[in-house]
Amino acid sequence: MGIVKMKSIARSVMWWPGIDADIERTCRECGACAAEAAAPARASPQPWPYVTEPWSRLHVDFLGPFHGKTFFVLIDSTSKWLEVFLMPRTTASAVIKVLRETFARFGLPKEVVSDNGPPFSSKEYVDFMNTNGIKLTYSPIYHPSSNGAAEGAVKLCKRVLKKAMRERMDIDMALQAYLMAYRNVEHATTGVSPAVLLQRRTLRSRLDLLRGERQVENRVQQAQRKQIEYSGGTDRRFQVGEPVLARDYTGGKKWMPGRIEGTIGSRAYVIGQEHGPPIKRHVDQLKRNWSALWPTRDAAPEELVASDGSNANPAPEPSGPASATQEMPPLSTQGSQISRAPTAPPLAPSLPILRPRDKLRPVQRYGFEID
Cβ burial of 261 (10 Å; 0-12, 13-18, 19+) is middle
Intra-chain end-to-end CA distance of the chain, in Å: 131
Q: Would you kindly state where each structural domain of the chain is located, as residue ranges?
A: 7-33, 57-203, 243-288, 294-317+326-355
How confident is the model over 25-75, as pLDDT tens digits?
Answer: 888 778 777 777 777 777 777 778 888 899 999 999 999 888 889 999 999
Fold topology of 243-288:
SH3 type barrels. (2.30.30)
How confident is the model over 68-127, as pLDDT tens digits?
Answer: 899 999 999 999 999 999 999 999 999 999 999 999 999 999 999 999 999 999 999 999
Distance CA 279, CA 247 (A): 10
Q: What is the 3-state secondary structure (H, E, C) of 54-71?
A: CCCEEEEEEEEEECCEEE
Binned at pLDDT 50, 70 and 90, residue 370 comes out as: low
Distance CA 180, CA 201 (A): 13
> Taking 50 as the threshold, does the pLDDT of residue 309 lie above it?
no
> Taking 70 as the threshold, does the pLDDT of residue 253 lie above it?
yes
Fold topology of 57-203:
Nucleotidyltransferase; domain 5 (3.30.420)
The residues that bridge with 286 in the sheet, in sequence order, are 246
What's the mean per-residue pLDDT of the chain? Answer: 78
Q: Which residues contact 350 (CB under 8 A, 6 or more apart)?
A: 239
What number is the average pLDDT over the span 240-251?
87
How confident is the model over 122-178, as pLDDT tens digits?
Answer: 999 999 999 999 999 998 888 888 888 888 999 999 999 999 988 888 889 999 999
How confident is the model over 349-358, as pLDDT tens digits?
Answer: 455 555 555 5
Of the chain, the percentage scoring pLDDT greater than 90 comes to 30
Contacts by 180-189 with C-beta closer than 8 Å and gap 24+?
A: 180/205, 181/205, 182/82, 182/156, 183/81, 183/82, 187/80, 189/80
Taking residue 321's Cβ as centre, other Cβ atoms within 10 Å add up to 8
What number is the average pLDDT over the span 182-211?
87
pTM: 0.54
pLDDT (0 to 100) of residue 325: 39
Q: Reading across the β-sheet that carries 57-66, which strands appear in turn?
A: 82-87, 69-76, 57-66, 111-114, 135-138
